[in-house]
Amino acid sequence: MARTWFGATAAVVAVGIVVQLFVTAGLEGTPFPDLRGRLLNVFCYFTVQSNLLVAVTCLLLAVRLDRRSTTFWVLRLTALVAIAVTGIVFHVALKGLQDLQGAAALADFLLHTLSPLMCVLGFLVLGPRERITRPIALMACIFPLCWAVFAMVRGAFIHFYPYPFIDVDTHGYARVLLNSLLVAVVFVGLSFGALALDRVLLRTRFSVVEGAGT
């Protein structure tokens, strides 16, 4: 069941990204007039990068659940927290900014709603447990910092920012840095929250097993 769920989660992400690329290829009037530029820009979004991490880690879990590599669990926790942040920020701050239809609405739903739900539910219900440690929780916070630096440096050259809250041209560096700091605080909180929750769920599972054996 766990491997099937993780495989399905990876498949949802794959379909969502393919549909998004198809939609983006047909767009006109964007800051990227050539097809190559439009398609490459898709992979600069935090949403897409988070979903790619989800797809890779879930696919690896679908192949084999018993993974001990620290690198894998850093990526797994990074994917889990990043996709949770994606879902939260989108539904709190970004959802009402566009009125999408057809394939665009489908890609939006798959990458911003269904993928986060499936990834988080997979962690809560299926685990695997007892893999997250404090060093892993800390290392999982590297990704959003690197992405924020990348987005601001890239934006300074091409004057395009993937999300309004990180648009330096509109808000200035002070406001954008504050916005990024708030997201970073959420990311750190979710990382260590996942660590604490993993331990609680592990103890709960053992309690249930012990109770069933008495």
- pLDDT of residue 210 exceeding 60, the answer is no
pLDDT attached to residue 93 = 73
- How far is 74 from 62, CA to CA, in rounded Å? 17
* pLDDT, tens digit (0-9, with 9 covering 90-100), for 85-113: 999 888 887 776 677 788 989 999 999 99
**From residue 203, how far is each of 3, 17, 43, 136, 194 by CA, in Å?**
23, 37, 39, 20, 14
pTM of the model: 0.88
Classify residue 165 by its DSSP letter. Answer: G
Q: What is the pLDDT of residues 23-79, one digit of tens each?
A: 999 888 788 888 899 999 999 999 999 999 999 999 999 999 888 889 999 999 999
| Greatest CA separation for the chain | 68
Contact present, 83 and 115 (Cβ < 8 Å): yes
pLDDT at site 198: 86
Token representation of residue 201: 């769920």
Q: How far apart are CA 48 and CA 39, in angstroms?
A: 12
| Mean pLDDT along residues 179-189 | 86
Residue 127, Cα to own-chain centre: how many angstroms? 17
Three-state SS for 208?
A: helix
The two structure tokens encoding residue 48: 């897409």
- Distant-in-sequence, close-in-space partners of 115: CB < 8 Å, separation ≥ 6: 9, 12, 13, 16, 51, 54, 83
**Which residue, 116, 143, 21, 76, is CA-closest to 151?**
143
Domain boundaries of the chain, sorted by first residue? 2-213
